[in-house]
Structure 1
Amino acid sequence: MVALASRIEFKMNTAFFFLVIAFSRAFSTDIPSNPLSDDFIDYINSQQSTWRAGKNFDESTPTLHIRSLLGSRTSPKAKSLKTRVHSEDVEIPESFDARENWPECEIIRVIKDQSACGSCWAVSATSVMSDRICIHSNGKKQTYVSDEDLLSCCLVCGMGCSGGDPSLAWYYWNVHGISSGGPYNSTTGCKAYSLSPCGHHAPEKIPECPENDYDTPECMEQCDPQSPLDYESDKSYGQESYTVSSEVTQIQLEIMRNGPIVGTFDVYEDFLSYKSGVYQHVVGKALAGHAVRILGWGVEKGTPYWLVANSWNENWGDKGSFKIIRGKNECGIEFAINVALPKLTKSDS
């Protein structure tokens, strides 16, 4: 009798198991396979309400190209940094936007275009360096720290266009210094970004991206031929590299007191089609790590968020920026924040 009951129970469990498998397979077939397709975008929008998806990339864009834009890597060579703890003796506002708090620093409003290169680690770091030079000099120094110089010359940071560790960018800035330089074809500063913007977003009217993406530019320890500046004397330097606690309040205080920060997070397929609202992962596979610039925070329809600048030009997302849910360490956005302060002379401050 016991044996019979056991056989019946086994058959019931087996039947339940295969029912679950069948249900899972049936459910999975409802999710479109191409994460850039209209069907996938429609599926995202049918599953949640805090953000809306839309067309950013052409449906035919290779996944390999998408992955190549995600260049945030964690290196075993990264040095351990002390954690700076801010005293919580000030009231933190419900919303904060670095662009509005420091209006004299127009550079904070700039949305970079990393082009067909996994340089997010470099362009996000140099953006924050530039922001902080302006902020801590009270607007006296409006310096574009060169993406090109950091990307091509910081060998310890990683592999250039194949990815790097943004935490090591601060170490490089402190020790070696980084020259100035604006975007592609810019005559501002010492060394401009040499990688041309390309059409990895839709719709765009700029040249298509190269099939195999760009190689890392050669490190040239000199200014561009048309620049009158001297490479060594043009460099800016950082100091006091440190890490920021993953506690929301500490991150907010860091931004309020010192300016924007670099955040890294895991990109999932649904993020590629972000258009508006407060992003949180809904559906799709993890692709790779990405480095971005966190400008502030706020609350939208009851949902707390971080305000973030991306580096895929202004055609992507919400004019190049996005919001991501705050306080949940969504996709790891609050986990690993490393920054530094600029090294300024008395005349600069």
Structure 2
Amino acid sequence: MRKVILLALVLLVLGGGTVPAHASTLELPEPTGRHRVGVTELHLVQHGRSDPWFPDETRELMVSVWYPAFPVGRRASYVPPALAKYYEIEPPVGIRTDWGAIRANAFVNAPSLPGKFPVVLYSPGVGNSRTMGTILAEELASRGYAVVTVDHTYEAAVEFPGGKVRTDKVFDLPIEDPAEIEKAKQRLMDAREHDVRFVLDKLSGLKMLDLSRVGMVGHSGGGVTAARVMQVDRRVDAGINMDGWFSFGYNRPELGVDRPFMFMGAGSSPQQPPLYGKPRTHLSEPDWRTFWDASTGWLLDLNFPAGRHYTFTDAQWLLPKLGGDHTGLIGTVDPAGAIDAQRAYIAAFFDEHLRKRPQPLLAGPSPRYPDVSFIR
């Protein structure tokens, strides 16, 4: 596979090779909230919008909705069957294992609990599947949120109804001229913004959702997507950028936002553009500082000094259990501690800003989460 555009990013995603591992008994960590979780998939077709990469096609997306539910039926597979089969050829984050054997905690198409739930949108990093945000989605759903995880078609392999897998064809496009590569990056980020706004449009038919309270969180390019969507769509009330850099295309950091926003950054890494050796904070990265200074809403910057870029994905849980982090994607942070801290701070952020419940955890460092630094 010739991934000629976004080459540095792809090398980061794939690391330095593959790691043989086994997943027959691996399960995701149980959510800590009081509710059990259900999950359902939606196939969304945006009639009238051409696909940004293949204009002869209509833009189609797959999303998952995670929600408080009655524990009825079977537990969901972490990776759907056809996609798991594809991963035998193209393993995510360089890990070869039986992806189809891993189980999530959610129950497939389980009936939702009564009531309407605040909504949190999740966008994965560029080149990543929405699957990589499953641990966070289940956690927030167990705490009373409806979480909508979005795949951006042709960036990563996506399974559609009928077992059809659409692969990451964007990285196969024969684009080599530097100016055209920059245009492709811009098209990719523009497409993500349009994808999320379309998903929001389509959610109005789900009675369990309280669309008067909407947040968004994303990893890497997904975090930048959260900022972009908030700038143009007032339906999103609060957002989180987990280690995403604005310099991937033009992403308007100088506009900031006027609603609550939280940064979550990783420690230093020689692989991380544009810092190359510095932690990602609003004090060290110029674009984060530009966004921070331009924003007029509530702001918080948290850093995981011993973490790395993929600390903010399910890789933080999976890699140590599937042979170890041989690629430097998650750093030396304690896996369980990092997962616990992310779940706690992200839930506290949305509890405070979507539910209007004050959260002392957000006021300063906590001895319960020593892996997290507050950046002032």
Q: TM-score, normalised by structure 1?
A: 0.25
Query: Between Structure 1 and Structure 2, which shows a larger proportion of strand residues?
Result: 2
**Which of structures 1 and 2 has the bigger CA Rg?**
1
Q: TM-score, normalised by structure 2?
A: 0.24
